Amino acid sequence: MKDSDSIDPPEQCVGAVILAAGQGTRMRSALPKVLHPVAGRPMLLHVAHLARVLGCQPIVAVVGHQAEQVRQAAGDSLAFVEQSPQLGTGHAVAQARPALADRVERVLVLYGDAPLATAETLRSLLQAGAGRALALLTAELSNPRGYGRIVRAEGRVVGLVEEAEASEAIRAIGEVFSGVLCAEAPWLWTHLATLQPHPNGEFYLTDLVRMAALEGLPIGAVQPAQPEEIMGINDRAQLAQANQVLWERKRRDLMAAGVTLLDPGSTFVDAEVLVGQDTIIHPNTYLRGRTVVGQGCELGPGTLIQDSQLGDRCRVVMSVVEGAELAERVQVGPFAHLRPGARIEADVELGNFSEVKASVVGAGSKAHHFSYLGDAVLGKNVNVGAGTITCNYDGVRKHRTVVGDNVFIGSDTMLVAPVALGDGARTGAGAVVTRDVAPEQLVVGVPARPVPGKGKQADAKETEPRGQP
């Protein structure tokens, strides 16, 4: 159970530049475009992941609009340079030169809003660029509107024309340039310095194609297996399309790895989720974030699992699990809610309308109906009766409840924290426990009081031989 992308370092030292400076006004969002999630991961980090899988080092993101927010979201996973003012793609790549020069032999240029390329396609691009000054990622589109067109002569790439500057004949060409390219570093830096501004004042990276062609240099070109790989995301409709593409890829990968999806179209699994062999996923199930699922589990229907870890042979039905950790053979649901910090040990059963937050539930324990366990530690083989609540919040602070092994908690018990129940303790139905309960002691009532003769000391006396002094 591991990520299907394996790192395959290129033969030459390759650095990556990810262009992520755009504002993305068509997204109509306060969030920078490159931070919008696709299949659970910000699209910038999808692209960075691809560069990392390819063995690129360093990976430099060129930022501009809301640069600080982008930096914070990516953390230490990327190096950053800022483009200010923003004067086009050629100018943007040039800003990365100090972070890359003399450290790499080739440069791979990617786009932070184009997360759909596959590692296989980009490996092919690097291979096509070996020994060439320039290699391009192109695609044949039935509707090439908005893209620069690739011009060929006798099958060789000899030029690239931006749509705004193209004649009708050029616009009829279906092969387009994605913007993604690989270039020899010395050639790239030299030619970026000679780019001329277009009428709008911007420097275009695409002019490199014309330069290479004028110098008579062979230009490599690679097309992806699916044209969707070059799609950039500029609005919410394209964002939805990209989610569907990555979810569908994930479904295929899971089924190929031995996971059963009973209705793939209603199963949504994020990019970073790992699922073990022989797990069965029912319809309307969502596995999100960095969830890890063991082998032989059964999930759903109607289940959401977020940023959680599940051991082997767990079963979660019509429930929500977020930020939780489940050991082996845990049964959850229906209609249960495991909140962040829940740690559920082996063979636990949590039934309908059971809620657990920031608590440990010991191995073999059961809470079958209508209970809330918050800021608590339960031992092994605890029976939690219907309606049990840990009263953990006094309006100012949270308090802890500690329950020993083999404790029986009667229905509708209120455990008013801070409170502790010793091993083998018992509470009667409706008890309000405000004080610690000794091991083996039975307490009942409001507030709960020990029942005479129903405790460890009493039981010990009853077993003494009669007639002894």
> Catalytic site residues?
369
Q: Residue 103 and residue 170: Cα distance in Å, rounded?
A: 39
Q: Residue 352 and residue 107: Cα distance in Å, rounded?
A: 56
Q: How many CB atoms lie within 10 A of CB 449?
A: 13
- Three-state SS string over the chain comes to CCCCCCCCCCCCCEEEEEEECCCCHHHCCCCCHHHCEECCEEHHHHHHHHHHHCCCCCEEEEECCCHHHHHHHHHHHCEEEECCCCCCHHHHHHHCHHHHCCCCCEEEEEECCCCCCCHHHHHHHHHHHCCCCEEEEEEECCCCCCCCEEEEECCEEEEEECHHHCCHHHHCCCEEEEEEEEEEHHHHHHHHCCCCCCCCCCCCCCHHHHHHHHCCCCEEEECCCCHHHHCCCCCHHHHHHHHHHHHHHHHHHHHHCCCEECCHHHEEECCCCEECCCCEECCCEEEECCCEECCCCEECCCEEEECCEECCCCEECCCEEECCEECCCCEECCCCEECCCCEECCCCEEEEEEEEECCEECCCCEEEEEEEEECEEECCCCEECCCCEEECECCCCECCEEECCCCEECCCCEEECCEEECCCCEECCCCEECCCECCCCEEECCCCEECCCCCHHHHHHHCCCCCCC
| Contacts of residue 416, Cβ cutoff 8 Å, sequence gap at least 6 | 391, 432, 433, 434
| Contacts of residue 432, Cβ cutoff 8 Å, sequence gap at least 6 | 413, 414, 416, 445, 446, 447, 448
Helices 43-53, 67-74: axis angle to 10 degrees equals 50
